[in-house]
Amino acid sequence: MNNKTVLTITWICIFTILFPVFSTLAEELDSTNYKLVGVTTQGGDSVESTNYSSLLTLNETLTDPTTYSTNYKSLSDPVYAFRPAVPEVSCFETTTSGTSNCTTGPVELPAGGMVVLCGGNGCYNRARFEIDTNDNPTDTLYAIQISTDNFVSDTNYIDAATYEMEPYSAHNINDFRTQTQWETDTFNILGLASSTQYYIRIIALHGDLTQTEEGPSDTATTTEAASSFDIDIAIESGTSTETSPPYTISFTGSTSLLAGAGTVTADDLVWFDAETNGVGGFAVVQQGANGGLYSATHSVQIDSITGNLDTTSEGFGLQSYYIANSNASSELGDVTAMTNYAGSISNVGIVDTDWNKVYDGDGAIVDGRMALYLKARAAADKQGATDYNETITFIFVPRY
């Protein structure tokens, strides 16, 4: 924008000058020939003659009407009249619980806080912020600065494409986005370190050469990455039963394993409690020591298989019975049984000497609860013994 104004001056007499609508706001212009008081101008240029020289400043009293408060200074240069208002942080959250200042995120956020979205005690590597535009136009662009020391010596930007931190040297115009663009995704800051306090502040831009000063900062602290896993032994109705080791399941009584008989299912099941705030969810994997039910007395084994025990002479395996997890937020993951272990009737998955995944959580999991049947069948020629056994190791693998 060119703010230069051409001035036309008409001399009426040697000491009288008429200026068209000019004022310097009570500024006095002196020379040896004249004294002008209260001259008004709306232009800006230098005016010269052999008798005088005056410098008239354009719109000295114009200020940005949206940047008035105890936090901001009034600026009178005309360029500031075209700048957007200095933005503020409406919310910046990682671990809020039961309430939230964020208003444009998922419907669960305002009443549940970030723990509903991230699980556990909240987010360990991501955050959400929203922008208080101070009534800027909707096409105003914003850039986000982030720091771990409130911008004393550590100042980075949020990359608008990846939502991750980038150094000042990598920051460019592509990192400016509208409020709507920034707030569309639930998590708009990624790649944070766990258990770390962060500060953010916002800059606005609305046209060339109109970048504002940084707004006031706000702070949030990430939680730690956390998971929990527990095993219980209980019957089918034991959805909330808690037990302590040692964990043992036997084929006894009406479910005794008999040579030549049909498939039997142990009365007790293996139950699991599983939770994680890991964005990648988790896996539960298992491995058998023998790869089947082994009798040291006779040195024989009922091999474990993947398949239908009712259509084979013998075998041993696992079958998922129960899966539950919290669906308090659309951002939380779900637990599923792997195909080989998700069968019904007598279809089982193998307990091998290799590791096999039984359950998978595809995101942060809250109140995960699962259970597995143990099913077996002995061939007619299998020798009877009381020491057929297998040791199964289950490992919980969180993914951060």
Instruction: Assign residue 188 the CATH number of its domain.
Output: 2.60.40.10
Closest alpha carbon to 93 in 123, 135, 137:
123
Instruction: Kindly state whether residues 231 and 214 are assigned to the same domain.
Output: no
Closest alpha carbon to 361 in 309, 400, 321:
400
- Which residues form the domain of 24? 10-56
- Measure the CA–CA gap between 391 and 169, rounded to whole angstroms: 57
Confidence check: pLDDT of 19 > 80: no
- How confident is the model over 89-145, as pLDDT tens digits? 999 999 999 999 999 999 999 999 999 999 999 999 999 999 999 999 999 999 999
Instruction: Kindly state whether residues 157 and 209 are assigned to the same domain.
Output: yes
Residue 32 confidence (pLDDT): 62
Instruction: Kindly state whether residues 366 and 317 are assigned to the same domain.
Output: yes
Confidence check: pLDDT of 160 > 70: yes
Residue 379 confidence (pLDDT): 96
Instruction: Kindly state whether residues 241 and 273 are assigned to the same domain.
Output: yes
Of the three residues 221, 239, 269, the one that is the final residue of a domain is 221
Confidence check: pLDDT of 58 > 90: no
**Average pLDDT value for residue range 274-281:** 97
Of the three residues 199, 221, 243, the one that is the final residue of a domain is 221
Lowest-confidence pick of 174-183, 221-230, 250-259: 250-259
Residue 8 confidence (pLDDT): 36
Instruction: Kindly state whether residues 16 and 144 are assigned to the same domain.
Output: no
76 domain-assigned: no
Instruction: Kindly state whether residues 207 and 101 are assigned to the same domain.
Output: yes
Of the three residues 221, 247, 282, the one that is the final residue of a domain is 221
231 domain-assigned: yes
**Average pLDDT value for residue range 213-228:** 97
Instruction: Kindly state whether residues 206 and 105 are assigned to the same domain.
Output: yes
- How many residues appear in the chain? 400
Instruction: Kindly state whether residues 245 and 382 are assigned to the same domain.
Output: yes
- Measure the CA–CA gap between 4 and 139, rounded to whole angstroms: 28
Instruction: Kindly state whether residues 133 and 257 are assigned to the same domain.
Output: no
- How confident is the model over 322-356, as pLDDT tens digits? 999 999 999 999 999 999 999 999 999 999 999 99
Number of folded domains that form the chain: 3
Residue 385 confidence (pLDDT): 83
Instruction: Kindly state whether residues 183 and 235 are assigned to the same domain.
Output: no
Round the average pLDDT of the chain to a whole number and report it. 86
234 domain-assigned: yes
3-state secondary structure 43-86: CCEEEECCCCEEEECCCCCCCCCCCCECCECCCCCHHHHHCCCC
